[in-house]
Structure 1
Amino acid sequence: MAEICSTCCGIIFENLSVIPVEHRHRDNSQSTPSDEGHWMVPFDRNPRFIGRDKVVKMVINHILSHRQARKAAISGLGGVGKTQIALEVAYQIHDQDPTRSVLWMESTSIETVEQAFMSIKKKLQLRNVTASDVKSRVKAYLSSERAGPWLFIIDNADDTDITFLPTTQNGFIIFTTRNQQLATRLVGPDVVTLSELDEAAAFNLLKASLVEKDQTNDQESMTILVRQLHGLPLALNQAASFINENCISLKRYLSILNQQETSMIELLGQDFEDDYRYPEIKNPIAATWFVSFQQIQKSSKLAAEYLSFMACIDPRDIPLSLLPQHPTPVRA
């Protein structure tokens, strides 16, 4: 997942100031009535979505409630499954309320934001709209009562310069972001912070992703692999893809993974086919982790310093006294 630049964020929230998304009560001069909301989601539903049912249910309850807060954020490191949760929420909301519009913005670059606005304009069937006024026209229509209820998902909102958010009781915004501090600034306490999958869910995901199901009989290798990859869904999917494509056993994969550090980086840097990523984004877990570390460097120099130090020692049971000292407990 790529980071979004500050200019891009300005485009999103300066021009997306009130961005509800629905079409039931349309202006007759702009579109025709329909009983269903607009649907603009870039991915099919993931049939192997596993292990996040409680999180999905919590987010959906928040969306459908009448609470004052009409936004939430899903925060976590790259590869932990933020986009997949948002995707499942989108499909479940659509199943429960087909009249609610669901829109999705990929916030990986200025270009993707611009393209999203043009796609929204097309979905809304707004007439006589030019590239120069598309943002204001979309904003004006979607901020009106005619727009009806909506869900707007802004994926990869990782920049720190987001300063303005749409507010309406008809709509709900979900952000996905690697930046925990930004998530808190955007939505206050309504942040879902994701960690790795628990062991049972990670087992189920790995099993569902392997072609040769008999491999799962090797419980020892399954356990070691799940723990070494820290239950990260993207890493597990990548490992399964490599195993499937090369027709190797779990033991053989672990052997390659543990040969030496360069072998691990090369193995985790292998690209693989994935129906649930944006076309312009490379998906290797090593690259994803690197982008996450870059985001940490931007938001907290001290945290980056600690992580760099811990990468040079055994990762388990590190005493706090061993970490580099800092003159103040306040974040650097």
Structure 2
Amino acid sequence: MNTITFGDGNSGFQAGTIHGLVSTEFHYYPASEQPETPPNPSILIPFGRDGDFVKREELIDQIEHSCGRPGSRTALVGLGGVGKSQLAIEYAYCIRERSSDTWAFWIHASNSARFEQSFRDIATRVKLPGRQNPKANIFQLVHDWLQDEKKGPWVIVLDNVDDPSFLKLPGPNIEAAAKTIETSNQRPLISYIPYCQHGSVLVTSRSRGAALELVEHANIIAIEPMNEKDALQLFQNKLGQSDNEACTIELAAALEYMPLAIIQAAAYVLQMRPRYSLQKYLDEFRKSDRRKADLLGRKGGGLRRDAEAKNSILITWQISFDYIRETRPSAADLLSLMSFCDRQGIPEFLLRRRNDCTRGDGEQSHRGGTNDMGDGDEHNNDADDNESIDSSSDSDSDSTAQQSNYSNNDRFENDILTLRNFSFITANEDRTTFEMHRLVQLATLEWLRAHDVYEKGKHQFLVRLCAEIPVGEYENWTKCQTLFPHAQSVSAQRPASKESTKEWATILYKAAWYAFRKGKGIEAEDLSVRAMKARKKIFDKEHEDVVWSKAMVASAYGLRGRWSDAEELEVQVMETRKKKLGEDHPDTLTSMGNLASTLWNQGRWEAAEKLLVQVIETRKKKLGENHPDTLTSMANLAVTFWNQGRWEAAEKLLVQVIETRKKKLGENHPDTLTSMANLAVTFWNQGRWEAAEKLLVQVIETRKKKLGEDHPDTLNSMASLASTYRNQGRWEAAEKLLVQVIETRKKKLGKDHPDTLNSMNNLALTYWDLGRLEEAKTLMRHCVPLLQAKLGANHPNYSSAAETPAGWET
């Protein structure tokens, strides 16, 4: 049992594709990271202190009393716009004033993407070692820092927890994980905010039910509208002393003493002075009462599910928005654009060029992607096709005409200032992103519907986002990460028009590509399938957009181990491209390469090799020997040599590919690392275990730095290293590494994914080597039926796994 071969399927690596999401607890610190002096305690809140804040004494006392208890968890619950977040902000600043050794942090908890970003912001502020690795387990890093009493007391504001379901699921890809993965034994996100005596948590939520999932009933503080005294004080802070107190009292009552409504009304009056007054505002508000039921009954009737105060706020926003539309159309256009975004983390670059994209004619350019097979017990797969949009177009005439005397920058800043003055948006302290209240977005969208410009506004947003979101290649990941929440948000908003649907489908396609490259198979599948279905409805079945979408869905299927489904689509793509483009077209060759990859994963190695040889010969003639696509095919062919025992030939080919990729792509490029990992596996199969180990360690360290500790490729190399340890008789080390790989693969791929099962199979072999015979038999008996169900009885990996228990019984 000391050595086995690849053909037996128990060689310590599994040929397959890694999918799903992973949350590991490795902490890798890049060698280049310099030691930093720990900062002094400070406040990390993306909002400045409000000089006009009205201190509601009773509420402040309640908050301070509840949050003052060691290890407390308190929730502020109330209607949107009632002032929960403002109270939390004021409390945090008060804590800092009283105790300069206390940290104050702000965590956005409206969704998993923003939750993760807040953790990254904390890691940056406290200068956590390892944070500069963009794919490190940032949750564990921050958790461990918070847990350490030596770091000092802290308070966390967990803002906008309206749907806490994602906090109870593992990893950042929560919605997709909830659909397919059992989570009972997995660590939830909320657990990364530790219970400890030196830290307290203050939650804000619109839902009492949501709050009860995070705090005890006794620790919920209900935030109601202001009393009359406080509402009048807020009006005075914003407008100065009024000479018509009766009108102010009436207006405060009409606004139901809601702080946000009062702030917006005051901003509107200030903007229109001296030709406007509180009385005129009150008169207009009263007139719109009859409009209120009408507006809320048009398509947006779902808004009635909220309390009446919420509806009154909506009408207030409508009045202010009408004024902005009349006096500064470009600011109204900007607000319309922002209303289609995810409400948090709206990047400035997405807004500044909003007038550059009004055409949306679907003009696209594409290039093919290719696959790398192997990498030990894994298979590395690139997306089939990429696409982008030429976003140059005429500017928005309405906005440009009225701002012709200003530069683009002046116009943008003035538009932003207008929206901030009306409290419709908040500029974050990072100076590059903005936020909106959810109800502001809903009110704006309702206004667009009421004026029959909703679809027009959505189209302009889709064109803008489509032009900005890049393809999902490694070099674009930073921008993709910023825009991915906005692509996710729009994925549920399929437009009505054909032209808008084209842009919408392309956004989903690009987002799926990014999810695919990040190893998030569930999201990649969901987004790519939506894009494919949309394109099928508006294009002919052989239209290039439909073909590209099919290829992306096939890649997502492959990532999830659905190789039969992937094969079916890849055959369709290949045949269509042969017919439409010709057999030697680069896109056709890419499809053939992808199909070969899928065949290899299915254990059909001879068919895969035959197809790859054909692809290589054609690519050499058409593209040249050093073209990246040619190199990929050569690397894949080297992997097929493994199955024939042609180790020297595989080594020679891989060395050639590695050297060329180092020159063309760089030593740390993901494709170069994949070839290096495959070479390490070749060394392993030659019995050159020390050489294999040395190369794998190098690959793992670089992948942790470049891709992240929980990236599928990093896990693949770890599994290969475990196999190397096992063949050197270092069984304890192999066991430790395999257990880690299995646990993360269970979370990222699922308990019955082929790659998870292959790792469990290897762990069973390691147990046998350690003399833990019953554990080995039990685990193998568990794996074999599942492997048969997933791979089929004819797959080599299943066959060898099925033979092993029989051999142990003799």
TM-score when scaled to structure 2? 0.30
User: Are 2:296 and 1:268 equivalent residues in the alignment?
Assistant: no
Aligned pairs for 1:1-332 (under 5 A) are 31-33=36-38, 36-66=40-70, 70-129=72-131, 130-133=133-136, 134-161=138-165, 162-163=167-168, 164-165=190-191, 166-188=194-216, 189-210=218-239, 213=240, 216-247=242-273, 248-260=276-288, 261-262=290-291, 267-269=316-318, 270=320, 272-273=419-420, 274=423, 279-282=434-437, 287=442
Task: Provide the secondary structure at the position in 2 that maps to 1:176.
Answer: strand
Amino acid corresponding to residue 206 of structure 1 in structure 2: F
Amino acid corresponding to residue 150 of structure 1 in structure 2: W
* Aligned mates of 1:174, 1:58 — CA distance in 2: 12
Percent of paired sites with the same residue = 24
Distance change (3 Å), C-alpha of 1:288 and 1:169: farther
Which residue does 2:307 correspond to in 1?
Answer: none
Once the two structures are TM-superposed, the CA of residue 107 in structure 1 deviates from its matched residue by 2.2
* Aligned mates of 1:288, 1:186 — CA distance in 2: 29
Which residue does 2:358 correspond to in 1?
Answer: none
Measured against aligned partners, the alpha-carbon deviations of 1:105-149 in whole angstroms (never above 9, x if no partner) come to 122343322221221111121223323222222222222233321
* Aligned mates of 2:256, 2:128 — CA distance in 1: 47
Measured against aligned partners, the alpha-carbon deviations of 1:213-239 in whole angstroms (never above 9, x if no partner) come to 35x221221121011100000000011
Which residue does 2:412 correspond to in 1?
Answer: none
Amino acid corresponding to residue 208 of structure 1 in structure 2: N
CA contact (8 A) 2:77 2:222 kept: yes
Amino acid corresponding to residue 199 of structure 2 in structure 1: G
Distance change (3 Å), C-alpha of 1:176 and 1:42: same
CA contact (8 A) 1:70 1:171 kept: yes
* Aligned mates of 2:222, 2:444 — CA distance in 1: 17
CA contact (8 A) 2:110 2:163 kept: no
* Aligned mates of 1:286, 1:41 — CA distance in 2: 23
* Aligned mates of 1:283, 1:253 — CA distance in 2: 24
Higher helix fraction: Structure 1 or Structure 2?
A: 2
* Aligned mates of 1:144, 1:253 — CA distance in 2: 54
Distance change (3 Å), C-alpha of 1:228 and 1:287: farther
Larger Rg: 2
CA contact (8 A) 2:38 2:127 kept: no
Which residue does 1:319 correspond to in 2?
Answer: none
Distance change (3 Å), C-alpha of 1:90 and 1:249: same
Task: Provide the secondary structure at the position in 2 that maps to 1:217.
Answer: coil
Distance change (3 Å), C-alpha of 1:262 and 1:30: farther
Which residue does 1:309 correspond to in 2?
Answer: none
Task: Provide the secondary structure at the position in 2 that maps to 1:48.
Answer: coil
Distance change (3 Å), C-alpha of 1:236 and 1:106: same
Distance change (3 Å), C-alpha of 1:148 and 1:191: same
Distance change (3 Å), C-alpha of 1:286 and 1:201: farther
Task: Provide the secondary structure at the position in 2 that maps to 1:94.
Answer: helix
Once the two structures are TM-superposed, the CA of residue 80 in structure 1 deviates from its matched residue by 0.4
Distance change (3 Å), C-alpha of 1:109 and 1:183: closer
* Aligned mates of 2:438, 2:147 — CA distance in 1: 35
Count the aligned residue pairs.
260
Could you tell which deviates more after superposition, 85-94 or 37-46?
37-46
Task: Provide the secondary structure at the position in 2 that maps to 1:280.
Answer: strand
Distance change (3 Å), C-alpha of 1:284 and 1:87: same
Measured against aligned partners, the alpha-carbon deviations of 1:217-276 in whole angstroms (never above 9, x if no partner) come to 212211210111000000000111111111211111111112233378554233542385
Task: Provide the secondary structure at the position in 2 that maps to 1:37.
Answer: coil
CA contact (8 A) 2:78 2:222 kept: yes
Task: Provide the secondary structure at the position in 1 that maps to 2:59.
Answer: helix
* Aligned mates of 1:289, 1:197 — CA distance in 2: 25
Once the two structures are TM-superposed, the CA of residue 284 in structure 1 deviates from its matched residue by 6.5
CA contact (8 A) 2:102 2:153 kept: yes
Measured on the aligned residues, the alpha-carbon RMSD in Å equals: 2.9
* Aligned mates of 1:288, 1:107 — CA distance in 2: 22
* Aligned mates of 1:112, 1:236 — CA distance in 2: 28
Measured against aligned partners, the alpha-carbon deviations of 1:158-181 in whole angstroms (never above 9, x if no partner) come to 104144443111100000000111
Measured against aligned partners, the alpha-carbon deviations of 1:252-307 in whole angstroms (never above 9, x if no partner) come to 1111112233378554233542385762315766947999xxxxxxxxxxxxxxxx
CA contact (8 A) 1:73 1:191 kept: yes
* Aligned mates of 1:73, 1:276 — CA distance in 2: 23
CA contact (8 A) 2:426 2:435 kept: no
Amino acid corresponding to residue 228 of structure 2 in structure 1: E
Amino acid corresponding to residue 193 of structure 1 in structure 2: A
Stretches of structure 1 that go unaligned for 5 or more consecutive residues are 1-10, 16-28, 292-332
Once the two structures are TM-superposed, the CA of residue 195 in structure 1 deviates from its matched residue by 0.7
* Aligned mates of 2:67, 2:101 — CA distance in 1: 14
CA contact (8 A) 1:30 1:126 kept: no
Amino acid corresponding to residue 268 of structure 1 in structure 2: W
* Aligned mates of 2:155, 2:445 — CA distance in 1: 31
Measured against aligned partners, the alpha-carbon deviations of 1:56-98 in whole angstroms (never above 9, x if no partner) come to 23222333334xx511000100010000100010001001111
Task: Provide the secondary structure at the position in 2 that maps to 1:258.
Answer: helix
CA contact (8 A) 1:45 1:91 kept: yes
CA contact (8 A) 2:108 2:115 kept: yes
* Aligned mates of 1:266, 1:185 — CA distance in 2: 32
* Aligned mates of 2:207, 2:315 — CA distance in 1: 27
Distance change (3 Å), C-alpha of 1:171 and 1:31: farther
Could you tell which deviates more after superposition, 171-180 or 111-120?
111-120
* Aligned mates of 1:285, 1:225 — CA distance in 2: 20
Which residue does 1:306 correspond to in 2?
Answer: none
CA contact (8 A) 1:151 1:172 kept: yes
* Aligned mates of 2:157, 2:444 — CA distance in 1: 23
CA contact (8 A) 2:66 2:219 kept: no
